[in-house]
Amino acid sequence: MVETRQVVVYSRKGCHLCEIIKETLSKLQRRGGFTWREVDVDSDEELRHRFTDEVPVVFIDGNKAFKYRMDEREFLRKLAS
């Protein structure tokens, strides 16, 4: 049985690039193979300090995979590896 990959998007309210990535993940999730969740960096002092204005950031299974923009094909390639 193949394990479901875990994707986390660090974002903040009012971030246009964050919205694009979240829409892309919602679309790609229909293919299966991963679940994703969003974390608002402004909800935690440590996260706000860690990411400052460098959002969105996408992690796959705890590994940083993308920052600012995410290519669909590259995401699927990284997901499969």
Task: Measure the CA angle with vertex 11, ends 10 and 16; round to 5°.
Answer: 145
pTM for this model (two decimals): 0.92
Work out the percent of the chain whose per-residue pLDDT is above 90: 85
CATH C-level class of 5-80? alpha beta
| pLDDT score recorded for residue 78 | 94
DSSP result, 51-76? HTT---EEEETTEEEEES---HHHHH
Contact 57, 64 (CB under 8 A): yes
The string of pLDDT tens digits covering residues 10-44 is 999 999 999 999 999 999 998 878 999 999 999 99
Question: Could you state, in order of their start, the residue ranges of all structural domains in the chain?
Answer: 5-80
Interatomic CA distance for residues 41 and 46, integer angstroms: 8
The CA-based diameter of the chain, rounded to the nearest angstrom, is 39
